[in-house]
């Protein structure tokens, strides 16, 4: 009997290990794993029974725990394996129920009843699982459908124990051993059948992936082509991988690089790398040359190590990429490189590892090309651009590289240009412009403005060099005809300083760093105070006082002049209102107006609003405009000034004598005063200077205009200006520009004494 139990346990171990080995080979067959575990746990049952019945006292107590450890997992894994074989899983509730009932059957009955109760429980579980498996598996293969009936038979085998007790154990064990072995065989066959099906699926998927792939797939052992899909045959134009192994040595050398493939194959098989990549141009059948990309990795083929290679034909993709790159870097009309290429070339040429490189850049802009487009049409304009580009290219030859920056602008880069070479480039370009362009509509001569910048003389990097050449080109535009201007030295530092000044002015306006000083205007005959001129000042932190000549130019260039002018106008009017309240009288104050402010159609409305908000009468405010502003925008200026006169505001023309004003302009503009520029006053009392000032005063008198002489610095100048006919005098001889407090004190003395000390000195001198 003992031998029978041991035989039973040994068979269970063999069957269980066999099932686990099958599962280890084919991991998808999980039912084989569960049935293998069930059989191994079942092998503990005879061992536990022998310990419980045959072992000496110390070991006998281990019998029941061993039976429990073997019995419960045996049933659970058996039920799970049977259900997984039919495509189902064991519910958690069923697991808990089996564990509870098994413990009850093994632990609750008395010792003489344990065998009976366990046999009944074991039979019920096995018959139930077998019945369900028979129902679920009946429509499957012949071998698999036997699992259900065998499980039912294994359960019914427990009737021998139920009927005959321990006397039925021997036949029960023999029958159970045979049934377990048969169940194990059925499950092994099912696992192998499932593995074959999975392998078939994988083979089918591989075929679908490779046979219909546009990428070539090759499997090789290093010397032979073991497999090649249709895409490989299409790429190479030859019958590869059609059943017979093909030797690489028999293939054209220009189509397959045998040496390169052998090297990568060896690296992959040695494990030096997991993935190899390479690419190259290959000549294939039909005289075609393809750009191919290869990726390779280790595989197993028919049980032998091999290398799988994925081949991608990048010929069309690379050609499209090159075409896109060409379009992105070249001008469509002329085919010349564009601004992107220019910056790239300049960065290459301006990188000086040893400080020995030089580079010349010329920016060329065709003069009045917009006029040509308007008169001849854009089609003819495009023809001119193409012909001119060809002409420049012919003249330059290989000496320099020509590029089109857009529109009518070109760039010429000479990587070695310096000294005589730079002058040679300039001469060639001027010669090209002098040659007429022959088109169907006639011959045309092109004028161009050119700016030349040298590296490193004018800039220290590519972007600064381009800015310097552009600035020089705009300088050249001031010269009629084809002209070339050289960039100024230290252009980079100058540009940086200009940008810094612009930003500082913006900050200064925001932080109220700008303020007004006031310079008196004196009656030439009596020496009385006639009014004040408001003069803008900028106390820049860290720099000091900045001249209006400098910051007004910056304000006009950056468009800040409108904001600045409005701020200073409002500040002057508020100061007039404060003095009027303090003195009980109104002293007229003149405020300078920029030409750009006059271009703003809403300027008269701005003045009207400020007067209304500050509450000062219009006669307390005088606006001064420059002669150049009136000349350049005569019609607009006339309209604006008339609106200001309608408000009751007097307008003076400042800096008269420095521009190109005409008698008709003076007659047409609604002016009240002419201010003679200090450039005409400083030569006084020279006879010729006196004659010019006298003529201006007589002209003003004929037009009923008052005349103010600016820049009076000496008694002689004051006497000469008065004798020439000037009505008012202004300058350092009387007073420098005064701060608000000093100007207020000046007016207090004026109103208390009838005349202040400076005015008194002037009056005495003029008397």
Instruction: Kindly report the CATH number assigned to the domain that includes residue 348.
Output: 3.30.70.270
Residue 636 lies in a domain: yes
Total structural domains within the chain: 4
Query: What pLDDT, in 10s, does the model give residues 107-166?
Result: 777 876 777 877 788 788 888 887 887 777 777 666 677 777 887 887 788 788 778 777
Provide the CATH number for the domain around residue 265.
3.30.450.20
* 65/95 same-domain check: yes
Domain boundary among 318, 346, 375: 318
Query: How far, CA to CA in Å, does 430 sit from each of 391, 396, 434, 591?
Result: 11, 11, 6, 49
Residues 170 and 271 in one domain: no
pLDDT interval class at 77 (50, 70, 90): confident
Phi, psi of 541 (to 5 degrees): -60, 130
Return the higher-pLDDT residue of 557 and 143.
557
pLDDT of residue 196: 65
**Residue 570 β-bridge partners:** none
Q: Six-digit token pair at 308?
A: 């799988």
Residue 583, pLDDT > 70, answer yes
Q: Does 756 have pLDDT greater than 60?
A: no
Residue 685 lies in a domain: yes
One domain, residues 187 and 220? no
Tell me the pLDDT tens digit for each residue of 455-503.
888 777 888 888 889 888 988 888 888 888 888 765 555 555 666 788 8
**CATH code, 540:** 3.20.20.450
Query: Is 522 domain-assigned?
Result: yes
Token digits of residue 543? 């720099």
- Residue-level pLDDT at 409: 92
Whether 480 and 513 map to the same domain: the answer is: no
Residue 298 lies in a domain: yes
**708-728 average pLDDT score:** 94
Residue 302 is predicted with a pLDDT of 78
Final residue in a domain of this structure, among 196, 225, 260 = 196
The CATH number linked to 87 is: 1.20.1070
In a domain, 93, yes or no: yes
Averaged pLDDT, 239-247: 64
Q: Let me know if residue 464 belongs to a domain.
A: yes
- Low-confidence winner among 43-52, 358-367, 426-435 (lowest mean pLDDT): 43-52
Query: 532 pLDDT exceeds 70?
Result: yes
At residue 748, the pLDDT reads 84
Q: For residue 465, what pLDDT is reported?
A: 86
Query: 387-414 pLDDT, tens per residue?
Result: 999 989 888 887 788 999 888 999 999 8
Confidence of residue 765 (pLDDT cuts 50, 70, 90): very low
What pLDDT, in 10s, does the model give residues 588-623?
A: 999 998 877 877 888 899 999 999 999 999 999 999
415 is a domain residue = yes
R_g of the chain, CA atoms, integer Å: 53
CA angle 309, 313, 317 (to 5 degrees): 140
pLDDT of residue 467: 87
Q: Are 141 and 160 contained in the same domain? A: yes
Q: What is the pLDDT of residues 181-231, one digit of tens each?
A: 787 777 777 777 766 666 666 666 666 667 767 788 888 888 888 888 888
Q: What is the DSSP letter of 86?
A: T
Residues 396 and 437 occupy one common structural domain: yes
pLDDT given at position 496:
54
The segment with the largest mean pLDDT, out of 83-92, 212-221, 702-711, is: 702-711
Alpha carbons 444 and 456: distance in angstroms, whole number: 37
Say yes or no to pLDDT of 766 above 50: no
| Better-predicted residue by pLDDT, 65 or 698 | 698
For residue 256, give its domain range.
213-318
Asked if residue 724 lies in contact with residue 690, where contact means CB atoms within 8 angstroms, the answer is yes
Does one domain contain both 478 and 520?
no
Query: Do 311 and 353 fall within a single domain?
Result: no
Question: Per-residue pLDDT for 634 more than 90?
Answer: no
How many alpha carbons lie under 13 Å from residue 285 in its C-beta half-sphere? 10
Please check the confidence at residue 575 and state whether its pLDDT lies above 90.
Answer: yes
Q: Is 308 within 8 Å of 284 (Cβ atoms)?
A: no
Q: Which residues of 473-511 are buried (b: 16+ CB within 10 A; e: fewer)?
A: bebbeeeeebbbbbbeeebbeebeeeeebbebbeebbee
Question: Quick one: pLDDT at residue 109?
Answer: 79
Judge if 53 and 150 occupy the same domain: yes
Whether residues 713 and 661 fall in one domain = yes
pLDDT at 628: 62
Alpha-helix runs per DSSP H in 516-647:
548-558, 561-583, 595-598, 603-614, 627-632, 634-646
Interval 654-693: pLDDT, tens: 888 766 556 777 888 888 999 998 989 999 999 999 999 9
Mark 628-651 as b/e (b = at least 16 C-beta within 10 Å): ebbeebbeebeebbebbbeeebbb
- Whether 562 has a pLDDT exceeding 80, the answer reads yes
202 found inside a domain: no
Query: Across residues 548-565, what is the average pLDDT?
Result: 83
Taking 90 as the threshold, does the pLDDT of residue 626 lie above it?
A: no
Choice between 749 and 721, residue whose per-residue pLDDT is larger: 721
Say if residue 674 is in the same domain as residue 748. Answer: yes
User: Is the model's pLDDT at 760 over the cut of 50?
Assistant: no
Q: Residue 33: what pLDDT? A: 83
Cα 87 from chain centre: 54
In this predicted structure, what is the pLDDT of residue 134? 79
- Domain endpoint, select from 318, 343, 369: 318
For the segment 572-583, the average pLDDT, to the nearest whole number, is 92
Instruction: Report the C-alpha gap between 131 and 138 in whole angstroms.
Output: 11
In a shared domain, residues 45 and 190: yes
More confident residue, 550 or 275: 275
**SS3 of 313-374:** ECHHHHHHHHHHHHHHHECCCCCCECHHHHHHHHHHHCCCCCCCCCEEEEEEEECCHHHHHH
Q: Is the pLDDT of residue 314 over 90?
A: no
**pLDDT for position 686:** 94
């Amino acid at each position: 009997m003992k031998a029978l139990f041991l035989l039973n346990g040994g068979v269970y171990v063999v069957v269980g290990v066999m099932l686990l080995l099958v599962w280890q080979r084919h991991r998808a067959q999980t039912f084989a794993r569960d049935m293998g575990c069930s059989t191994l746990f079942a092998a503990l049952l005879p061992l536990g029974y022998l310990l419980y019945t045959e072992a000496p006292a110390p070991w006998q107590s281990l019998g029941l725990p061993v039976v429990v450890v073997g019995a419960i997992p045996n049933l659970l894994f058996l039920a799970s394996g049977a259900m997984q074989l039919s495509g189902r899983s064991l519910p958690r509730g069923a697991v808990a129920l089996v564990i509870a009932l098994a413990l009850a059957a093994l632990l609750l009955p008395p010792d003489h009843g344990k065998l009976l109760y366990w046999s009944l429980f074991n039979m019920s579980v096995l018959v139930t699982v077998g019945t369900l498996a028979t129902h679920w598996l009946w429509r499957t293969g012949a071998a698999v459908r036997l699992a259900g009936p065998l499980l039912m038979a294994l359960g019914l085998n427990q009737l021998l124990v139920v009927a005959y007790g321990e006397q039925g154990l021997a036949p029960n064990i023999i029958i159970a051993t045979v049934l377990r072995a048969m169940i194990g065989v059925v499950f092994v066959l099912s696992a192998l059948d499932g593995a074959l099906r999975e392998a078939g699926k994988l083979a089918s998927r591989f075929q679908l992936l490779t046979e219909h792939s546009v990428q070539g797939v090759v499997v090789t052992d290093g010397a032979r082509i073991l497999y090649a899909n249709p895409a490989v045959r299409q790429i190479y134009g030859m019958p590869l991988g059609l059943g017979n192994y093909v030797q690489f040595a028999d293939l054209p050398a220009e189509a397959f690089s045998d040496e390169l493939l052998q090297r990568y194959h060896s690296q992959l098989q040695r494990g030096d790398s997991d993935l190899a990549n390479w690419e190259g141009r290959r000549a294939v059948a039909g005289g075609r040359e393809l750009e191919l990309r290869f990726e390779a990795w280790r595989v197993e083929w028919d049980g032998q190590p091999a290398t799988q290679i994925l081949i991608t034909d990048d010929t069309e993709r690379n050609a499209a990429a090159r075409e896109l790159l060409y379009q992105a870097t070249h001008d469509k009309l002329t085919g010349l490189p564009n601004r992107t290429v220019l910056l790239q070339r300049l960065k290459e040429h301006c990188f000086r590892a040893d400080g020995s490189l030089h580079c010349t850049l010329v920016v060329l802009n065709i003069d009045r090309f917009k006029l040509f487009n308007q008169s001849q049409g854009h089609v003819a304009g495009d023809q001119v651009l193409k012909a001119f580009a060809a002409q420049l290219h012919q003249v330059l030859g290989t000496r320099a590289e020509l590029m089109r920056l857009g529109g009518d602008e070109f760039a010429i880069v000479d990587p070695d240009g310096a000294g005589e070479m730079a002058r040679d480039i300039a001469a060639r370009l001027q010669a090209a412009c002098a040659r007429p362009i022959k088109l169907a509509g006639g011959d045309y001569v092109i004028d161009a403005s050119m700016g030349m910048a040298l590296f490193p003389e004018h800039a220290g990097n590519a972007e600064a060099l381009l800015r310097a050449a552009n600035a020089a080109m705009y300088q050249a535009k001031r010269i009629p005809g084809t002209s070339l201007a050289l960039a100024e030295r230290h252009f980079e530092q100058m540009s940086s300083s200009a940008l810094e000044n612009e930003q500082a002015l913006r900050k200064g306006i925001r932080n109220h760093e700008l303020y007004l000083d006031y310079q008196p205007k004196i009656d030439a005959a009596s020496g009385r105070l006639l009014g004040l001129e408001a003069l803008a000042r900028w106390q820049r932190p860290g720099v000091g006082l900045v001249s209006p000549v400098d910051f007004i130019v910056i304000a006009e260039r950056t468009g800040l002049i409108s904001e600045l002018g409005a701020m200073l106008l409002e500040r002057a009017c508020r100061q007039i209102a404060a003095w009027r309240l303090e003195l009980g009288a109104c002293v007229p104050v003149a405020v300078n107006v920029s030409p750009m402010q006059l271009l703003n159609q809403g300027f008269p409305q701005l003045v009207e609003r400020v007067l209304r908000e500050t509450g000062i009468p219009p006669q307390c405010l005088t606006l001064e405009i420059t002669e150049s502003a009136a000349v350049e925008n005569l019609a607009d200026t006339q309209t604006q000034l008339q609106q200001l006169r309608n408000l009751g505001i007097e307008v003076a023309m400042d800096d008269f004598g420095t521009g190109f004003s005409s008698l008709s302009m003076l007659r047409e503009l609604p002016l009240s005063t002419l201010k003679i520029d200090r450039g005409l006053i400083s030569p006084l009392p020279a006879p010729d200077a006196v004659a010019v000032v006298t003529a201006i005063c007589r002209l003003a008198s004929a037009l009923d205009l008052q005349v103010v002489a600016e820049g009076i610095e000496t008694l002689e100048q004051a006497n000469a200006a008065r004798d020439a006919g000037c009505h008012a005098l202004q300058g350092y001889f009387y007073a420098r520009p005064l701060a608000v407090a000093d100007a207020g004190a000046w007016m207090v003395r004026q109103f208390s004494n009838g005349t202040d000390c400076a005015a008194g000195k002037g009056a005495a001198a003029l008397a």
